[in-house]
Amino acid sequence: MRAGMENAKREWVRDHVEEFPGLDDRKMIRTAAMIILALFLGLYGYTQVELSRIERELPPVGAFVSTADGAVDLHYLREGWGVPVVMLHGRDASLQEFTLSIFDAVAEDYEAIAIDRPGYGYSACVDPERLTTEGQAQLLNEALTEFNIDRPIMLGHSYGAAVMLQYLLDYPDEIRAAISLGGVAYVDAPPDEGILALPRYPIVGSIMAQTVAVPFGRTVARGMYERAFSPAEPPEEYLDAVSSLYIRPDQLTATAYELASMYESVGKISGRYEEINVPLTIIFGESDEILSYEDDGQRLCEAVPDAELILVESAGHKLHHTHPQVVLDAIERLTHRIDRAGSQ
């Protein structure tokens, strides 16, 4: 009897299932889809746990100032007394770019102010219009007005220098001197965004930023920072802190929008540098693998009426970490020069 039941079952399968050869394929597709969904849910869960850990171990270190009618709160750290020195980090960082390098030394002799640029660190912002150099300069101006400081020296590193140059052009009477530190001044072609553009795309970008960016982003970031520090090695403390903040979804989204506006933003101001009316010191590492001192340093020096170019031998893009005294000396020379000019 059991044999008869088995035969009947085989006949039923032959009659009802084998008539539909695509059935097994559909089952495989459903199984694969469930596995992929489970994978992404797992990555999303891991990301949320890791983001909580990052923000618990690396909380805001300073205070916040409200700008854009409360739409953007800029995170900043302010210490010391004397001539104000405002520091703007580049596209791959946050204000830890300076707290892990020159901030404490600057605060010994000046009023040191490091700001998380809009969209970076704890200055949350994913509004594309506010992530252009012009939009950022406006928000920074609101913040500095709120600080009630008198004509600071402004220092911009990497893309922070492009924002600084925009500021010098838009608010020419509000800065006493400036330092472009391995700074972007010219973008002659749209940048190659690669995977950094992904967070800008609806749905897909958000999914990728909320799932794979944190687990795999550190590996990508490490390579990026190793190149930026070359020929030196990046400190582990820097790699852990800055890369952890950088790979968070909101900061990656801000990076994507900033990259999208870079060509147009810098293109609008690069023909106006002769209008800059304050002393400008340009510092570049001769071994910089991110930017060329000829393309961004020498050209800027030739365009700005009162500018000097300092080339640092055996230094890369992060020379304020590897050669901090060069930067501190440049601040001191500018301060003394301004003091002498004021006394005449």
Question: What are the pLDDT digits (tens) for 288-324?
Answer: 999 999 999 999 999 999 999 999 999 999 999 999 9
pLDDT digits (tens, 9 = 90+) for 159-185: 999 999 999 999 999 999 999 999 999
Ramachandran assignment for 9, one of left (phi > 0), alpha (psi -120 to 50 degrees), beta (any other): alpha
CA 257 to chain centre: 11
- Structure confidence at residue 7 as a pLDDT band (50, 70, 90): low
DSSP character at residue 95: T
- Structure confidence at residue 26 as a pLDDT band (50, 70, 90): confident
In angstroms, what CA-CA distances link 5 with 11, 13, 117? 10, 12, 74
Q: Which residues fall within 8 angstroms of residue 331, CB to CB, at 6 or more apart? A: 85, 106, 110, 153, 155, 179
- Structure confidence at residue 92 as a pLDDT band (50, 70, 90): confident
Cβ burial of 333 (10 Å; 0-12, 13-18, 19+) is middle
- Structure confidence at residue 241 as a pLDDT band (50, 70, 90): very high
pLDDT digits (tens, 9 = 90+) for 57-78: 999 999 999 999 999 999 999 9
CATH architecture under which domain 58-343 falls: 3-Layer(aba) Sandwich (3.40)
- Both tokens of 171, joined, read 């608010």
Neighbours of 306 (CB within 10 A): 12
User: What residue spans define the domains of the chain?
Assistant: 58-343
Neighbours of 45 (CB within 10 A): 11
